[in-house]
């Protein structure tokens, strides 16, 4: 990258939180200033933009982001299937940037598991070892061990056509495990499965990872998969790292509006409120219809930030908006708003409310309230905002000034 792109990049990625690994933790894979440009008719697509991530030994690291953000490209570059335009890949303290895929000690599992249909499960599992000329007793031993680990021992003599989707995916995983790689690379391995099986396999992957204890880099566009599987999660957007950290940290302290909106379901609400100073200090968030007083902490944050409060957007997660009728004394004029209930969706454990500031519905936002709530559709409801959970985003940079 040229100097000019570097410096402009430095300016607008000030919100990036990289959570650098501790020095006493062993780094297994290092993605080091990686950029990848694909040639096309219009002079190139910047698929990965100056990405650096240190992955610790044994860690389950998830790369998550919307379609086209550069996840697959990053993974394929680690695997050696793509050449970096800039930057390097390190595995086991070795710069592997110039090495062939088979020389890197990695095994990749794809979305499309493509088992050999004419081979049994045993033959499918043996194949990666046979082509590498392993002795047959070692092949047998590793296949048995892998089948055991994946709990598919009783399926060894079946053909793939006699397996369910989940079983096929397990065999595909097995083909990577038998090779005993130092690093697993997985590209949306569950996305061909139906929703229920996907959730089940997610749990199994967690268990398998605990047993195998191998460094894993896992790619998905599904934030729920990222949250449940990752020791740490790297959120990418347009080829750039937005935030890297443990799942709960991304949820509680999203560094910018992109991460705030991407992690969490239903997503965080962004309300078109003006942040206006109060006469005797402090601020309130005000729309045409309601106002919420900022906590002292949040007001101090706005002061410290020092920008124009009119250029802030208020973010609040659905579960931090509750039925005021159930809040007792905790609901006060400072934290309670009135909104029109458009739709109620009972989820069993919660009710999702689709709300708008007036019956006309200029915009909508979502609340996740207790199933005991008695609010009704097509009526106004009093809602209590958990003000300590409010986020404020700088409209210009997208940065969350509250973290
Ligand atoms: P993801 O896996 O996050 O969906 P990809 O890494 O596949 O994203 O793609 C990142 C960007 O690079 C996209 O804009 C995509 O269109 C482009 N891209 C990916 N592979 C190629 C390729 N072989 N040639 C040209 N452009 C590509
Ligand atoms: Mg992809």
pLDDT digits 0-9 by tens, 91-146:
999 999 999 999 999 999 988 778 999 999 999 999 999 999 999 999 999 999 99
pLDDT greater than 50 at residue 8: no
- From ligand 2's centre to the CA of 67, what distance in Å? 7
Fold of 24-105+181-262: Rossmann fold (3.40.50)
- Where do the structural domains in the chain lie, given as residue ranges? 24-105+181-262, 270-394
- Asked if the model's pLDDT at residue 307 lies above 60, the reply is yes
Banded pLDDT at 14 (limits 50, 70, 90): very low
What CA–CA distance (Å, rounded) separates 249 from 240?
19
**Sheet arrangement for strand 321-323:** 321-323, 380-385, 336-346, 351-356, 365-369
Global pTM value: 0.90
Ligand 1 pocket check for 81: Cβ under 6 Å = no
Looking at 99-155, list the stretches that DSSP marks H as alpha helix, in order from N- to C-terminal side: 121-130, 136-150
Average confidence (pLDDT) over 56-83: 97
User: pLDDT band at residue 280, thresholds of 50, 70 and 90?
Assistant: confident
Query: Which residue, by CA, sits nearest to atom 15 of ligand 1?
Result: 68
- Tell me the ligand closest to 66's alpha carbon: 1
Helix (H) or strand (E) segment spanning residue 375: none
Give me ligand 1 centre to Cα 223, in Å.
19
- Which contiguous run of DSSP H or E holds residue 18? none
270-394 placed in CATH 2.40.50.140: yes
Atom index in ligand 1 nearest the CA of residue 221 equals: 3
Residues whose Cβ atom is located within 5 A of ion ligand 2: 72
Among 278, 260, 271, CA closest to 312: 271
State yes or no: pLDDT of 7 exceeds 50: no
Distance in angstroms (rounded) separating the CA atoms of residues 178 and 138: 10
Ligand 1 atom, smallest distance to 66 CA: 3
Strand 215-220: give its sheet, edge to edge: 106-109, 183-187, 215-220, 60-64, 232-237, 240-245
Cβ(38) – ligand 1 distance below 6 Å: yes
Q: Alpha-carbon distance 230 to 240, whole Å?
A: 19
Q: Are 183 and 90 in contact (CB under 8 A)?
A: no
Pocket probe for ligand 1: among 38, 78, 221, the residue whose CB has the most ligand atoms within 8 Å is: 38
For ligand 1, the distance from its centroid to the CA atom of residue 328, given in whole angstroms, is 52
Taking the alpha carbons of 30, 225, 50, 52 in that order, is the dihedral positive or negative? negative
Atom 25 of ligand 1, nearest CA residue: 38
188: CA distance to ligand 2 center in Å? 7
In angstroms, the CA 321 to CA 353 distance is 10
Q: Which ligand is nearest to the CA of 187?
A: 2
Is the beta carbon of 42 within 6 A of some atom in ligand 1? no
Place of tokens 């790619």: 219
220 C-alpha to ligand 2 centroid (Å): 8
Least confident interval from 139-143, 276-280, 320-324: 276-280
As a three-state string, the secondary structure of 196-263 is HHHHHHHHHHHHHHHHHCCEEEEEECCHHHHHHHCCEEEEEECCEEEEEECHHHHHHCCCEHHHHHHC
């Amino acid at each position: 990258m040229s100097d000019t792109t570097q410096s402009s990049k430095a300016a607008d990625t000030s919100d990036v939180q990289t959570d650098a690994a501790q020095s006493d933790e062993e780094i297994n894979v290092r993605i080091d200033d990686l950029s990848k440009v694909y040639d096309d008719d219009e002079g190139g697509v910047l698929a990965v933009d100056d990405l650096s991530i240190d992955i610790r030994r044994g860690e389950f690291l998830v790369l998550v982001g919307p379609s086209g953000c550069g996840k697959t490209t990053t993974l394929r570059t680690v695997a050696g299937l793509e050449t970096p335009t800039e930057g390097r890949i390190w595995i086991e303290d070795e710069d592997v940037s110039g090495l062939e895929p088979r020389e890197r000690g990695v095994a990749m599992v794809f979305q499309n598991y493509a088992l050999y249909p004419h081979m049994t499960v045993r033959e499918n599992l043996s194949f990666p070892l046979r082509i590498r000329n392993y002795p047959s007793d070692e092949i047998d031993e590793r296949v048995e061990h892998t089948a055991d680990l994946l709990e598919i021992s009783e399926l060894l003599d079946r053909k793939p056509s006699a397996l369910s989707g989940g079983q096929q995916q397990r065999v595909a995983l097995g083909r990577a495990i038998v090779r005993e790689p130092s690093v697993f690379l997985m590209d949306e391995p569950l996305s061909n499965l139906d929703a229920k099986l996907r959730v089940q396999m997610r749990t199994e992957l967690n268990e398998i990872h605990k047993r195998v204890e191998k460094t894993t880099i896992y790619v998905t566009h599904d934030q729920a998969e990222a949250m449940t599987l990752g020791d740490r999660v790297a959120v990418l957007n347009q080829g750039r790292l937005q935030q890297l950290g443990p799942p709960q940290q991304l949820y509680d302290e999203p560094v910018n509006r992109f991460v705030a909106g991407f992690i969490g379901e239903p997503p965080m609400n962004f309300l078109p409120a003006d942040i206006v100073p109060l006469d005797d200090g402090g601020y309130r968030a005000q729309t045409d219809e309601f106002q919420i007083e900022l906590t002292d902490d949040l007001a101090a944050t706005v002061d410290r930030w020092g920008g124009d409060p009119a250029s802030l957007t208020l973010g609040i997660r659905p579960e931090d908006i509750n039925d005021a009728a159930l809040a007792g004394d905790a609901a006060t004029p400072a934290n309670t708003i009135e909104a029109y209930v458009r739709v109620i969706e009972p989820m069993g454990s919660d009710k999702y409310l689709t709300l708008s500031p007036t019956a006309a519905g200029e915009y909508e936002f979502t609340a996740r309230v207790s199933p005991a709530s008695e609010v009704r559709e097509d009526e106004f409801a009093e809602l209590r905002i958990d003000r300590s959970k409010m986020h404020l985003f700088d409209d210009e940079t997208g940065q969350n000034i509250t973290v």
